[in-house]
Structure 1
């Protein structure tokens, strides 16, 4: 499960250097990719939007907080050439609705299982970014019979793993502003973005808070991944997660941030496929 540093170095050196550092730039959100296999699952008191692409063993992509399925547009074609890709808008995000219950990772993980049930998928791998990576770990803890591998990018397992003042970082602040426009375009409650951010921020302030014992109980194959310039997650926390979950791999992607899948899609996609297809 562990990647060779030399392989990653060769991949990064193969890319010509640019005037601006990749990790300083927030590339555009990809346009949604058309599919005739999309719809809504009505479960857990809400409507959950999903889209399906490709053929093969199933892989669920779970986006970060405030985002939506469009953010995975640079990954779909690469991964769908080998796997069935399922994109899900988390509750209250993108085109999915929410109910009156507070946001929580357990609740959102149960939504993922509800989509798997509706699509009659007994087991799937997970690729998660940020909140999506946290959901992958939650699924490994509470629904391990429903998932195979977890590629957990830019996740945290304790609230203390997040850097103070991340919302003031220019790249992250630009993301929050962009997400507001996207929320207005996609949501069934387009004028409630500020309330949405407040409610999600309450979850972030309190969750996750898994103990070492909980993490040590995980026997799902997990690759713990982050960018070497992540604006949000502390490097030592990423290393802690990988060291605490038994047999977990650790992968640090070069010259990218919390938005690596946008900043260097070829590298991100190559590592996802290597991990998913590794025997």
Structure 2
């Protein structure tokens, strides 16, 4: 089982599960924990090969799929007797949550999808293709730093960029390759995954400077019945780090609305 940590508010409180992206760990949510644990029980997970889950790999297959990674979280929920949870995810973690919504939709009360990935644009496809060509000969941190800079290029994205690079340094080369292999054919996979919308309330929270992923998310949300989009100004891909107070206010308000505890309104994006 992957590594996880819980913060228990009490039996009468709903659960929120946090899912980080590729190369990160549950530590990226350090600006959310204090605010969230005032309202909810919290489940933090480290995905396969990330954070403290590196020591839990055991004899797993050298290659795995997004579904395998998603079932790890379902396994933890079952182990902790968590029947359902609200989910907060960032970057590639948003793909994991949407797979869980497809596999076992009854386990998800609502979704907050930050810096969501719904489709790769041409620039990101070129970067992925180049990365796959040289991943066996170039140190993985060189590639990761390049991706971090391209995705989060501005000076005000420095904290997010540094955080993800620092967390990625804890990965080994083999684990980076395993995760990188998941990007093969990812647009076709995402197209299939997102073709049908589950009847689960979803809030997409995007930075106005997330130029690589924002246009695709805007197009996706415009076609959905249960999804809303909130745009944060002067903010890049990792919105929970760039604008933590605003992110916490919006996301906690949205989840509390789903529980019937409080009122929340999304301003037009």
The alignment's TM-score, normalised by the length of structure 2, stands at 0.75
Alpha-carbon distance in structure 1 between the residues aligned to 2:88 and 2:63 = 24
**Aligned length, in residue pairs:** 223
Q: Tell me if 1:227 matches 2:207.
A: yes
Aligned to 2:241: 262
Aligned to 1:86: 43
Deviation per CA, 1:175-233, whole angstroms, max 9, x where unpaired? Answer: 5532233x16xxxxxxx2x22222211212333623368533411111122111126x3
Unaligned runs of 5+ in 2: 128-145, 261-269
Q: Contact conserved, 1:215 with 1:245, CA < 8 A, in 2?
A: no
Alpha-carbon distance in structure 2 between the residues aligned to 1:65 and 1:276 = 24
Instruction: Report the secondary structure of 1:273's partner residue.
Output: helix
Q: Offset at 1:234?
A: 2.5
Unaligned runs of 5+ in 1: 1-41, 43-47, 185-191
Alpha-carbon distance in structure 2 between the residues aligned to 1:162 and 1:59 = 34
Deviates further, 265-274 or 169-178: 169-178
Aligned to 1:149: 110
**CA pair 213-175 structure 1, distance change in 2 beyond 3 A:** closer
Equivalent in 101, 106, 122 of residue 67 of structure 2 = 106
Deviation per CA, 1:130-166, whole angstroms, max 9, x where unpaired? Answer: 1211111111122101111000111223344873547
Q: Tell me if 1:215 matches 2:195.
A: yes
Deviates further, 266-275 or 199-208: 199-208
Instruction: Report the secondary structure of 1:215's partner residue.
Output: coil
Q: Contact conserved, 2:28 with 2:163, CA < 8 A, in 1?
A: no
Aligned to 2:96: 135
Alpha-carbon distance in structure 2 between the residues aligned to 1:195 and 1:271 = 38
Q: Contact conserved, 2:85 with 2:107, CA < 8 A, in 1?
A: yes
Alpha-carbon distance in structure 1 between the residues aligned to 2:15 and 2:218 = 28
Q: Contact conserved, 1:216 with 1:244, CA < 8 A, in 2?
A: no
Instruction: Report the secondary structure of 1:216's partner residue.
Output: coil
Q: Offset at 1:252?
A: 1.2
Alpha-carbon distance in structure 2 between the residues aligned to 1:100 and 1:212 = 25
Instruction: Report the secondary structure of 2:229's partner residue.
Output: strand
Point out 4+ residue stretches in structure 1 off by more than 6 angstroms: none
Where do 1:107-256 residues align within 5 Å?
107-160=68-121, 163=124, 164-165=126-127, 167=147, 168-169=149-150, 170=153, 171=158, 174=162, 177-181=165-169, 183=170, 192=172, 194-207=173-186, 209-211=189-191, 214-230=194-210, 233-256=212-235
